[in-house]
Amino acid sequence: MDNTQNHGASADALVVFGVTGDLAHKKIFPALYAMAKRGALNVPVLGVAVSPWSLAQLRQHARDAIEKSGESDDGPAMEHFLSLLGYVGGDYNDPGTFKALKIALGDARRPAHYLAIPPALFATVVIGLGAADLAEQARVIVEKPFGRDLASAQELNRILRSVFAEDAIFRIDHFLGKEAIMNILYFRFANTFLEPIWNRNYVANVQITLSEAFGVQGRGAFYESVGCLRDVVQNHLFQIVALLAMEPPAHQGFGAVHAEKHKIFQAMRPLDPDDLVRGQYVGYRQEPGVTEGSDVETFCALRLFIDSWRWQGVPWYLRSGKCLAGTVAEILVELKPPPQRLFDDSIPVNGRANYLRFRLSPRTAVALAARVKRAGKTFTGDQRELFLLDEQPDKESPYERLLGDAMAGDGALFAREPCLEATWAVVGPVLDEHHPAVPYQAGSWGPEAADALIATSGGWHNPVVEEPQ
């Protein structure tokens, strides 16, 4: 493997393995069409799958996907995108499939291979690409989950690195492509007023909620293989923690950001079973594909500590789940109350001290809560939010941004091998050794045991659930 190759040049073709699958239909085709509308997609897009489809079938499938996304408003862009499509059908275990792909690529020398396939097939396809000499100047884009634990993540990385250089491997966590997630990094380091208070001396606790009002939606068999801890916490929530907790990077560049995030993952204290509450919504066991008597968690709440100079002793509370009270993602950074009770209500008996709130979805916002005096002679007041709405209706979708970045060779928003292995080390102790999942009612905020986990910090902040726009 040549590690000196230039991965800064843009890809001259995109190969989508699993092009007939659900991910391609729901996310990839709409994202590629959006790129075509912006004039950002002008290279061949070759689909590969087992199905014996014709090119006409693939193009109709792509058109249907784009129309169902509600974004098919540009006829010329649609025709341009469809004209870029090609198709190679064949078994991934058959070397002939990769030979046919090489022929279909023609003069393309820097393809980006997107593995939109089940993780069990990653090794087969990666080894097939290497054997067919389709990896030398290529990139590979891999969908999560990146392993099931530390050992399997290391094995997956070993296989990927046996064929591709590390800077040619793009591990997609679509959460990192969201505008609101990138805004956390910008807000932290573009504003001077935060730094003096962004530490253990002023922050009482940090809460992160990522909730969904719906269940597994017919994907019971898939969820049985992952569960909430693997599906959401080890990747999405830990990435948010890292952006909130990291030290300022030494310079502008994704390498510096990844280095600081890695330090946070290394400083995370490995979880103990008593730090974790697992829940399962009532009715999950009746979902298609779910094992009878399943103990797989559809809800996780955990208490996390970061053993660093900045964050020593500050509890981080994370929770996520399905069939909760709303579909919302929100962060609350609660500050410590004033050290002296100058006013009767300056240290809240009920309610919270000052806080900073990040709403990530459904509408992005940043709010700072501060106390203001009521009119009159008494020194009492109310806590009010200074509210900044940061919604941008024309922003790129996460997949559009990430696919464009991967094809351009920009690795800023992709997970890196050391960070992934460090996060698996944090959750490793509780992947198999944990308390049983406790039931909770759909439409609630999860099991009561999760409330006990955070009781000493004043309880959970339940985000206001907005009606869909």
Give the active site residues.
236
Q: Which residues contact 346 (CB under 8 A, 6 or more apart)?
A: 337, 338, 371
- What the block records as the tokens of 328 is 């919302």
Q: What whole-number distance in Å separates Cα of residue 65 and Cα of residue 219?
A: 19
Q: Which residues contact 381 (CB under 8 A, 6 or more apart)?
A: 343, 345, 371, 372, 373, 374
CA angle at 27 for the pair 332 and 415, rounded to the nearest 5°: 55
Q: What whole-number distance in Å separates Cα of residue 456 and Cα of residue 118?
A: 42
DSSP 16-32: EETTTSHHIIIIIHHHH
Nearest CA to 104 among 123, 122, 85? Answer: 85
Amino acid at 289: G
N residues, the chain: 469
Number of Cβ atoms within 10 Å of the Cβ of 446? 27
**C-alpha distances in angstroms, 57 versus 13, 16, 29, 71?**
21, 16, 14, 20
Q: What is the 3-state secondary structure (H, E, C) of 33-94?
A: HHHHHCCCCCCCEEEEECCCCCHHHHHHHHHHHHHHCCCCCCHHHHHHHHHHEEEEECCCCC
DSSP 329: E
**C-alpha distances in angstroms, 203 versus 33, 304, 335, 365?**
44, 14, 4, 20
Q: Which residues contact 237 (CB under 8 A, 6 or more apart)?
A: 208, 210, 318, 320
- What the block records as the tokens of 461 is 């902040």
- What the block records as the tokens of 62 is 């792509």
Nearest CA to 9 among 416, 445, 406? Answer: 406
Q: Based on the number of CB atoms within 10 Å of its own CB, is 341 exposed (0-12), middle (13-18) or buried (19 or more)?
A: exposed
**C-alpha distances in angstroms, 236 versus 185, 227, 229, 440, 466?**
15, 14, 10, 23, 22
**C-alpha distances in angstroms, 365 versus 361, 391, 441, 466, 468?**
8, 7, 29, 13, 16
